[in-house]
Amino acid sequence: MRAVVQLVRSAQVSVGGEVACEMGEGLLALVGVGQADTAESAAALAQRMVHLRIFADDAGRMNRSLLDTGGTLGVVSQFTLFGDARHGRRPSFVAACRAEQAAPLVEAVVDAARELGVPVVTGRFQASMEVSLVNSGPVTILLDTEKLF
């Protein structure tokens, strides 16, 4: 699984002009599921995001996690994270998991994060979403359960 994780002051996801979710301070994660991903991948990604120490401590150093700050995790599915644009101009998405297998794995990330004690909000799977956010820092981290980056 892959995630683009952004430290945010606030974020909102809308679908068809209707607010699907909104959050205050926390992490907004765009999450992609690959063909080889499993429930274990989902749990590992949730662990990494919840424990990721990118919030400032009293000395201004990135040393606190969502658990330390009481922040919210926003999860938005995004299959395009598995887009391969190395050849030509049109990305290939063959490495992305099919929707019927990806949906329960994205939900497994959400469930695992909630079990770790973090409030979680989500977009709508397979919907055309409008995501707005106020990035803090800006801080953006790339995560991959295969540790490719």
Whole-number pLDDT of residue 93:
96
Whole-number pLDDT of residue 149:
82
Residues 109 and 42 sit within 8 Å (Cβ to Cβ): yes
Q: Rounded distance, CA 84 to CA 119, Å?
A: 32
Superfamily of chain region 2-143: D-tyrosyl-tRNA(Tyr) deacylase (3.50.80.10)
Burial 71-82 (b: 16+ CB within 10 A, else e): bbbbbbbbbebb
| Cα 120 from chain centre | 11
Q: Rounded distance, CA 17 to CA 143, Å?
A: 30
Residues 35 and 144 sit within 8 Å (Cβ to Cβ): no
74 - beta bridge partners?
28, 121
Low-confidence stretches of the chain (pLDDT < 70) are none
Options 6, 55, 72, 78, the catalytic residue: 78
DSSP classification of residue 115: H
**Tens of pLDDT, residues 54-83:** 999 999 999 999 999 999 999 999 999 999
Helix runs in the chain, H state only: 39-51, 66-69, 99-115
Whole-number pLDDT of residue 148:
87
Task: Give catalytic status of residue 79 as yes or no.
Answer: yes
Options 55, 72, 79, 82, the catalytic residue: 79
Options 35, 80, 101, 140, the catalytic residue: 80
Task: Give catalytic status of residue 125 as yes or no.
Answer: no
Q: How far is CA 128 from CA 13, 15, 16, 78, 111, in A?
A: 10, 6, 8, 10, 23
pTM: 0.95
Q: How far is CA 40 from CA 63, 66, 92, in A?
A: 26, 21, 26
